[in-house]
Amino acid sequence: MSDTPFVGTPRKATTHTNQNEGLIFEKSSPGKKAYRMDALDVPAVDAAALLGDTLRTDNLGLMPELSEIEIVRHFTRLSTWNYAIDLGMFPLGSCTMKYNGRVNEAVSRFEGIAEAHPYQPESLSQGALGIMKQLQDCLLEITGMDAITLQPAAGAHGEFTGILMIRAYHESKGNARKKVLIPDSAHGTNPATAAVVGYQIQNLKSNADGAVDLDELRKAVDEDTAALMLTNPSTIGVFESQIHEIADILHAKGALLYMDGANMNALVGKTRPGDFGADVMHLNLHKTFSTPHGGGGPGSGPVACKAILEPFLPTPVVVERENGTLGFDYNRPQTVGRVRMFYGNFGMFVRALAYTLANGPDGLRLTTEDAVLNANYIRAKLEGIFDLPYKTRSMHEVVFSDKLQAKFGVKTGDMGKRLIDYGFHAYTVSFPMIVSGAMMIEPTESESREELDLLIDALQQIAREAAENPELVKTAPHTTRIRRLDETAAARKPILRWQGPPQAVEADTAAKEW
Amino acid sequence: MRYLPKSPADRESMLKEIGAASIDDLFDSVPAEYRLTRDLDVPRQHSEHEVMEAFKVFAAQNATGYASFLGAGAYRHYRPVVIDSLSQRGEFLTSYTPYQPEIAQGTLQALFEFQTMICELTGMDIANASMYDGSTGAAEAVMMAVRVTGRNAAVIARTVHPEYREVLTTYAQHQGIPQTEVGYTANGRVDVAALDAAITADTACVLIQSPNFFGTIEDVAKIAEIAHAKGALLIVSIAEAVSLGIVKPPVEADIVSLEAQSFGVPVGFGGPYCGVIAAKEKFLRQMPGRLCGQTVDTEGQRGFVLTLSTREQHIRREKATSNICTNQSLVALMVTIFLTVYGKGLQELAEQNLAKAHFTADSLAKTTGAKLLFEGAPRFNEFVLTTPDTAAAMNAGLLEKKIIGGLPMAQWYPELGANASLWCATELITRAQIDAAAEALASTALTTA
């Protein structure tokens, strides 16, 4: 870091210390083993005789051969190349990178839970069903909805399920309708989802406050409109104060309100979508309910709805039988069908319920309040240093723009990269699209005042650097083991798998230094 | 609340600095009539110990200490301890989707290794960084084939996992993808004559599963020949990934949709699992989901990035190849660690499965009045057995001996009758359990006879 100037004295700057490590295939040698099979207690078989011409004969190609210690070191070294919540803050707007309680991991590994087979008899699955039922009850109370499915595997899968249910509802009235309205501030999954369900997409221009423009909405909604997909709070972190009017405009024409619950962590315990007019919504258990992001999944996207949509829920649904036991009901004539095999990402239900129990009603409310407090604190400290395009009240996230720094040639993406040198993950860059050069910051409740002050300090320094030494910011990050990567080359000539033994490819340049 | 890192004094001073009189000032954009003024009616705040106890109670209400012969898309294999020691490291567990590659090389390199191993095992050129699971992966593969061929229909083998087929029907219903189902013959394999007849000029793809839902290994080369002769693609779905250790990979297929749960992922009541789509390189641009690619940084060092994202929803919105965003990264990491531990030893693991399943099948078939169905074609670690009484009655008898028997088949295959059930034996089934099951089956057969 000695050759990397910082303006001032950054308190959390990092050198990202770690070791070099090649690909696992480059470390493999014939004859090494990291496993030993149990002694075979049944007669051995002649695989060639049993399988005939379906026998595999290629000796499993390039599959690696290593010892256990080498495997442990390989993945441990790789892990040190990652930034993670356990190391520090991810101010990623919309992504809700909050602390993942470790008790959640512990309980999900209890034998009766981790080893439960999805087809084991219902009488021997009462614990698993009990977890699903209790989580469902909690989520219904939190959302103010009437019915729920836990089956969708992620947020986008939940959107798919919700829009399918809306379509089935309209079909039950004799007309599936043609289009889904989507604000220009929406997540990319929204239009992609509506398209998969066979709807045309009509974009809705936001008003000067970044909210839904009621006049635009009135003009757009007609008898062909199936639904509006709305994120609330919106992607600029603002509560749609006219939400009930929005719902009324839709309902007057028979259209429904789909709420993208990606930002539900701003609302839990303070207000309920079911009370303010949403007809159906998804939740992201990996955002609001703290199940780990794991480098990009698994997620879980339960869908909660009003009673009018309940008949269309995917099968099976959890029901309480007359004898008081729990079971799955498959006999749902109006169902949209199954969206995933078995019952969804059950392991995430376990973790989300553990989180809910650890919080209780008071903890859930305080969590929401702290998330909103943190975002507003960042906003108060950084307004003026960065351009704030929308002055409306922020909830759990705040969106600045790079307008003041762009005049020095420094863009939002550059400042996001520079934040890495200060020991943080980048904020969300260039989203939502309605803000040019967006810098979207969501601290979550998991950050102490001290950590927030470090982030604020880092961003203030970066703003100074942008003015005084823009090249420093434009070439960031400087302290990571890998510098900016050539993404254009990656896409132009894709290399999506290891190409062959070490001698056949360019040697690991990092390894040469040894 | 123990997860919240703020003191009451912090909150007070922060509010002051913001210029708000109370926390509720920050929620004033929520119209008063929609503000919740009561506590949520959810269980009270639990200590960590109380959370543990609550889940111990749940866990005890599930089956433990049973010998289970269930498979059918969820397979119990040994999970080496290092899978959890490594994947539970906070740097993996609590990291985000690797959109900032400079500080996500750990996840990215592991995904690159994952993609490579999936290609090696399936015989395909390219593989993505995971899908939700095998069922949605198969549906996405069919939609991919529709985009590739410009044709709109699909021919589906009835021996594909019934729940995979249900998911496909859900996905396809508003895409205008008519599906034709093709049955099976006495040896449990796809009826190739019927298949040939079902493929038309509109057929984008044929979807089969191998080993199929009955445990039978399909003649992939033959089916590929038939599909290709009529310009349709062949998609092979694989639900029991361990089979790839010993069963010839479906190299003749155009797209392979794999459920990788068998590679070190707990059965966990059905999820999270790890789907993945692999394909011939020429179909790259129509691949759904995230892809990890190799490149270099500004100093020429090798590094990895998520690439070809112009296929994806956050760039292409309604024109994306899929709406998928979050996938199953951490589970893909578990799979990668499992595959690194076994490596070429996957063959030995698969061979033990083969031995256990054949011994189990032979043992159970000795029961008076019991019979193995679908003889005459190779099987991996599952088989269908008919018993002298209904599968439900036989299983009730087995349960008393703490044995979970085969899965009753009539719910999906009424033509097989109420007495047919699907059994699975992995390397974790012991000789003692097999003997006990055979004995219990024989005595139940006697009682019900």
Q: How far is CA A81 from CA A72, A198, B17, B302, in A?
A: 15, 42, 37, 14
Contact A497 B126 (CB under 8 A): yes
Residue with the bigger pLDDT between A493 and B326: it is: A493
The CATH T-level fold of domain A116-344 is: Aspartate Aminotransferase; domain 2 (3.40.640)
| Dihedral sign (CA A185, A187, A190, A195) | positive
Amino acid letter for position B99:
Y
pLDDT digits (tens, 9 = 90+) for B129-169: 999 999 999 999 999 999 999 999 999 999 999 999 999 99
Name the residue facing A271 among B4, B35, B112 (closest C-beta): B35
Which one-letter amino acid corresponds to residue A425?
H
CB contact under 8 A, B11 and A82: no
pLDDT at position B327 = 86
What residue type is B290 in one-letter code? R
Q: Phi first, then psi: what are they for B350, rounded to 5°?
A: -65, -35
- Quickly state the pLDDT bin for A513 (edges 50, 70, 90): very low
Interface probe, candidates A171, A178, A289, A497, chain B, greatest B C-beta count within 10 A:
A497
CA distance A361 to chain B (A): 5
**Helix, strand counts (H, E) of chain B:** 14, 15
Picking from A105, A417, A496 by the largest number of B CB atoms within 10 A of its own CB, the best residue to mutate is A496
The pLDDT tens digits of the residues spanning A434-482 come to 999 999 999 999 999 999 999 999 999 999 999 999 999 999 999 898 9
Confidence of residue A511 (pLDDT cuts 50, 70, 90): very low
Please give the Cα distance from B330 to A154 (Å, whole number): 14
Q: Taking a C-beta distance cutoff of 8 angstroms, is the pair A301, A288 a contact? A: no
- Mutant choice from B38, B42, B243, B351 vs A, greatest count of A C-beta within 10 A: B42
Peptide bond into B101 cis (omega under 30): no
Q: Does A484 touch chain B if contact means CB atoms closer than 8 Å?
A: yes
Task: Return the HEC string of A90-107.
Answer: CCECCCCCCCCCHHHHHH
Domain limits of chain B? Answer: 67-78+345-448, 81-342
Does the beta-carbon distance from A485 to B296 stay under 8 Å? yes
Q: What's the whole-number mean pLDDT along residues B255-273?
A: 98
Query: Residue A9's pLDDT is what?
Result: 64
Q: Determine what percent of chain B is predicted with pLDDT higher than 90.
A: 92
CATH number of B67-78+345-448: 3.90.1150.10
CATH class of B81-342: alpha beta
Select from B88, B103, B256 the residue whose CB has the most chain A CBs within 10 Å, as the one to mutate to test that interface.
B103
Residue A188: the pLDDT is 87
Q: Given A82, A128, A134, which is nearest B103 (Cβ)?
A: A82
- Does residue A377 sit at the B interface (CB-CB below 8 Å)? yes
Identify the pLDDT of residue A15: 63
Do A377 and B18 count as a contact with CB atoms less than 8 A apart? yes
Asked if B347 and A60 come within 8 Å (Cβ–Cβ), the reply is yes
Within 10 Å of residue A322's Cβ, how many Cβ atoms? Answer: 5
**Residue A2: per-residue pLDDT:** 43
Provide the 3-class DSSP secondary structure of residue B84: helix
Contact A50 B358 (CB under 8 A): yes
| Gap between the terminal Cα atoms of chain A | 20
Q: Given CB atoms, is A103 within the 8 Å cutoff of chain B?
A: yes
- The pLDDT > 70 percentage for chain B reads 100
pLDDT classification of A514: cutoffs 50, 70, 90: very low
Q: Which band of pLDDT confidence, cut at 50, 70 and 90, is reported for residue A30? A: very high
Amino acid occupying residue B345: G
B55 phi-psi bin (left φ>0, alpha ψ -120 to 50, beta other):
alpha
Task: Report d(CA A296, CA A251) in Å as an integer.
Answer: 36
Alpha helix (H) ranges present in B61-154?
81-87, 90-93, 105-122, 134-149
Return the bridge partners of B420, or none: B386
**A485·B19 Cβ contact <8 A:** no
- Please determine, for residue B341, whether its predicted confidence score (pLDDT) is greater than 50: yes
Q: In terms of residues, how long is chain A?
A: 514
pLDDT of residue B448: 64
What's the one-letter identity of residue A90? F
Helix axes B329-342, B346-365, angle to 10 degrees: 90
Mean residue pLDDT of chain A comes to 94
Between the alpha carbon of residue A270 and those of residues A88, A362, B23, B28, the distances in Å are: 28, 11, 11, 11
Share of chain A above pLDDT 90, in %: 90
pLDDT at residue B98, as a whole number: 94
Distances (CA, A) of A386 to A209, A378, A379, A427, B229: 18, 11, 9, 14, 62
pTM score > 0.90 for this model?
Answer: yes
CATH number for the region A1-98+368-484 comes to: 3.90.1150.10
- Give A28's contacts in chain B (Cβ within 8 Å): 343
φ and ψ at residue A123, rounded to 5 degrees? -65, -25
For A486, the token pair is 């050539």
Higher pLDDT, A2 or A60: A60
| Burial class for A391, CB neighbours closer than 10 Å (0-12, 13-18, 19+) | exposed
Nearest to B260 by CA among B251, B269, B272: B272
pLDDT tier for residue A174 given thresholds of 50, 70 and 90: very high
Alpha helices in A208-344 (DSSP H): 214-220, 243-252, 273-276
Q: How far B201 CA lies from chain A's nearest CA (Å)?
A: 24
Does residue B63 register a pLDDT over 90? Answer: no
Q: Is the CB of A373 inside 8 Å of chain B's CB atoms?
A: yes
pLDDT of the residue at A503? 54
* Count of CA atoms in the C-beta half-sphere (13 A) of A490: 25
- pLDDT digits 0-9 by tens, B394-429: 999 999 999 999 999 999 999 999 999 999 999 999
Once rounded to an integer, what is the mean pLDDT over residues B322-339?
A: 92
Domain boundaries, given as residue ranges, for chain A: 1-98+368-484, 116-344
Quote the pLDDT of residue B316.
Answer: 79
Q: Strands (DSSP E) along B17-113, which ranges?
A: 67-68
A395 Cα to chain B: minimum distance (Å): 7
